[in-house]
Chain A
Amino acid sequence: MSFPIGRVILGPVELVLRKVFDWSRHYSLWPAHFVTGCCSPEFMQTAGPRYDMERFGVLPLASVRQSDVLMVVGLVTKKMAKRIKLLYDQMPEPKYVMAIGACPISKGPFRESYSIVSLDEVVPVDVYVPGCPPRPEAILHGVMLLQRLVLEGR
């Protein structure tokens, strides 16, 4: 009988490695800088000294190709939706999406608008942070929820 290398050695090794990668990834979630609406000043405050997103490993970057999470901060219009789909497809796996603010979740205060869609209709969303605008503490809570998702290996 051949030695079950896969089950006994490679399987557990892969499991351990995956846990290590997840642990290191959850402390270094780099979002693509994508502020689309009025929530942007509050997002800037979260990057500021009082709330400091960067201690969670969140560093906003310019390029989508180098980021782990697409944080859509603000509303999604029909004109923008095509571009969001394009950007989402350009991101390398594993990738996550965070909808920050009431607008990408459910159109927010512009419920009846003829030119807004909710983010769900465009890309699959992992974490929703409600608020109009959400307080920096809420955004940080959203980041921590995302970190938990990453640790769980989603």
Chain B
Amino acid sequence: MVVSEAKEIMRISWGPQHPMSGQFRFILETDGENVYEIIPDFGFTHRGIEKILEYRTFVQGIVPFERLAMVDAANVGLAYVRAIEDAAGIEVPKRAQYIRTILCEISRINSHLYAIGLAAEAAGGYPAIFLWTTADRELFLDLAEMLTGARWSYAFFIPGGVRADIPEGFKERALKVLSYFEKRLIAYRDSWLENEIWLTRSRGVGRLSAEDAIKLGAAGPSLRGSGVELDMRKEEKYEAYEELNFKVAVQKEGDCQARFMVRFLEMIESTKIIRQALENLPPGPFKKPVPPKLPKGEGFARVETARGEMDVHVILDGSDKPYRVKVCAPSFRNLYVISKLPKLTKILVADVPVVIWSFDPWYLDADR
């Protein structure tokens, strides 16, 4: 990027109080039109969760851990629970694996709808798409409430299984919601994904090549939108994903439209996964007793959250609390990729909200 001497570079603070940046500050270096540098400023939502977890027992720790990304609480909570199970060598009964899969996919749909709704708001479509996604999310929140008792903050997964079994009437209700939602997805595609105004703002904008995405460490739909096929559900084969039939959504272009297309296709795959899991639910127990104190060891779990791969490294010291929990958050890496983007491709100031939302960073995830 050649900076002409005649232009003046301004430093603009995008955030931390700005609806399109959430609780984060991007310092933009721009000449008014072109953005030459994006400097991220982390830490506005830092809670020190890694330290707090050392003071909580394994089951108590799930509550603050989920709040890393409560919009996608099931997948995030699963990462911690799986790391503990990996460290202690606990096998989870099959029925619990299927129930976990169902809740994880509901959570993924919620999270993608959130990203789509706010991206549309960022690009100017506030009343229509934002409110549609909010309304559709209500149906899935009702399903989650029927299963776990909470709309967003489940704390439903415990080491050894899940807290409760699928209640009466859940399957019928879920199938009804899914068939309604599949029709809604067609509406989203027609009125938003293939909308000319949206396409001019997102097609060709913020292009990230496959090798840059790998080298810089992009995660989730940001990686798959650049043509790299990496999905922890197929890689680690955890819970019931190995036995269910679904595709990994990958797009080649690497621009904002590709990343949103990946999210859209993932929602379609999620409805398929939930249907299959409900049809093939195996009988049996839904949890296994696990002692409060776990032996010394080390566990590592990789889970595909809606924003990308989350890794949790847990070190146990023989007591009932973990010795150290290290979280590799997907949004931390995606925010890093955003900061490198102006050096790789041309970005205008008007593109910044769409580019940021196409990576879908969840700042609480990054700050931990």
Contacts and interface: CB of A to CB of B under 8 A. Distances in A.
B22 interface: yes
Interface in B46-88: 46-49, 51-52, 55, 63-64, 67, 69-71
Interface residues of A, number: 36
Nearest to A32: B17
A64 interface: yes
Nearest to B111: A41
Contacts of B16: 80, 83
Interface residues on B, range: 35 or more
Contacts of A36: 23, 44-45
B117 interface: yes
B47 A75 contact: yes
Contacts of B64: 109-110
A62 interface: yes
Nearest to A108: B67
A80 B19 contact: no
A133 interface: yes
Given A45-B138, A49-B134, A114 B48 contact: yes
A66 to B, nearest CB: 13
Contacts of B47: 75, 77, 110, 113, 115-116
A42 B151 contact: yes
B46 A110 contact: no
- Residue in B64, B69, B134 whose Cβ sees the most chain A Cβ within 10 Å: B134
B356 interface: no
- Residue in A32, A33, A44, A114 whose Cβ sees the most chain B Cβ within 10 Å: A44
A114 B132 CA distance: 39
A60 interface: yes
> DSSP class of A's interface residues: helix, strand, loop or mixed?
loop
B63 A80 contact: no
B43 interface: yes
Nearest to A107: B47
Contacts of A49: 131, 134-135, 138
Interface in A3-18: none
Given A38-B364, A110-B64, A79 B152 contact: no
A48 interface: yes
A16 B134 CA distance: 41
A132 B182 CA distance: 31
Contacts of B364: 37-38
Contacts of A149: none
A108 to B, nearest CB: 9
Given A34-B17, A62-B19, A112-B52, A77 B138 contact: no
A36 to B, nearest CB: 5
A80 B117 contact: no
B141 interface: yes
A44 B22 contact: no
B52 A110 contact: yes
Interface string B278-293: 0000000000000000
B134 A44 contact: yes
A42 B46 contact: no
Contacts of A44: 114, 117, 134
A133 B64 CA distance: 12
B138 A80 contact: no
B189 interface: no
Interface string A27-56: 000001111111011101101111000000
11 contacts: A32-B17, A37-B364, A38-B70, A38-B71, A38-B153, A62-B19, A77-B45, A80-B16, A80-B23, A112-B55, A115-B48
Interface of B: 16-19, 22-23, 43-49, 51-52, 55, 63-64, 67, 69-71, 110, 114, 117, 131, 134-135, 137-138, 141, 151-153, 364
Given A45-B134, A49-B135, 14 more contacts: A32-B17, A38-B364, A44-B117, A48-B137, A49-B134, A50-B134, A62-B18, A77-B44, A79-B44, A80-B44, A83-B16, A109-B64, A110-B52, A113-B47
Closest 8 A/B residue pairs (Cβ): A48-B134, A38-B70, A33-B19, A49-B135, A110-B47, A41-B71, A38-B67, A36-B23
Interface of A: 32-38, 40-42, 44-45, 47-50, 60, 62, 64, 74-75, 77, 79-80, 83, 87, 109-110, 112-116, 132-133, 135
